[in-house]
């Protein structure tokens, strides 16, 4: 029987690929803030930092590409306006971003952050609405 054998081989190959994927890359060294992206949430290792030049390392622990936008806003993390046509959040107040982080990879962005309230989001279409947002605070130095 050729078909069952073929199916078994494909199943074995899939297992091999999953096993080789391994853990997601560590955050780049020197990151003062580490954000972890999952399918569909964002967690940050610290709730706040003091203002200044801040290196934010971002790990994509999800199974798909994500992005990372830093938006300075007083709005609640889940209350950013969205655009129905693009299924993305509006990025008013954006101070920096990493446009694309493949699954299992990490990246970093260094930003000069002024004191205030921020929201970190993933703005791949639909991901913000699915929960990829979290609040962050930058304190006066
Ligand atoms: Cu995403």
Q: Domain residue spans in the chain?
A: 24-139
Residue 5, pLDDT score: 63
Cα-to-centroid distance, 2 and ligand 1 (Å): 40
**pLDDT digit string, tens, across residues 61-87:** 999 999 999 999 999 999 999 999 999
Percent of the chain with pLDDT over 70: 84
| Rounded-to-integer distance, Cα 137 and Cα 24, Å | 26
Q: Is the predicted pLDDT of residue 16 greater than 50, yes or no?
A: no
**pLDDT digit string, tens, across residues 91-101:** 999 999 999 99
Cα-to-centroid distance, 132 and ligand 1 (Å): 6
pLDDT band at residue 3 using 50, 70 and 90 as cut-offs: low
CATH class of 24-139: mainly beta
Residue 23, pLDDT score: 66
Cα-to-centroid distance, 58 and ligand 1 (Å): 12
Q: What angle do CA 17, 18, 20 make, to 5 degrees?
A: 65
């Amino acid at each position: 029987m050729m078909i069952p054998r073929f199916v078994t081989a494909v199943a074995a190959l899939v297992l091999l690929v999953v096993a080789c994927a391994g853990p997601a890359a560590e955050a780049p060294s020197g990151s003062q803030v580490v954000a972890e992206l999952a399918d569909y949430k964002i967690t940050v290792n610290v709730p706040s930092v003091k203002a200044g030049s801040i290196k934010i390392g971002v790990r994509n622990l999800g199974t798909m590409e994500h992005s990372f936008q830093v938006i300075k806003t007083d709005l609640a993390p889940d209350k950013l306006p969205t655009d129905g046509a693009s299924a993305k959040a509006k990025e008013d107040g954006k101070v920096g971003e990493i446009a694309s982080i493949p699954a299992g990879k990490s990246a970093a962005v260094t930003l000069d952050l002024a004191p205030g309230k921020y929201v970190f989001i993933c703005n791949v279409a639909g991901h913000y609405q699915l929960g990829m947002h979290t609040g962050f605070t930058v304190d006066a130095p």
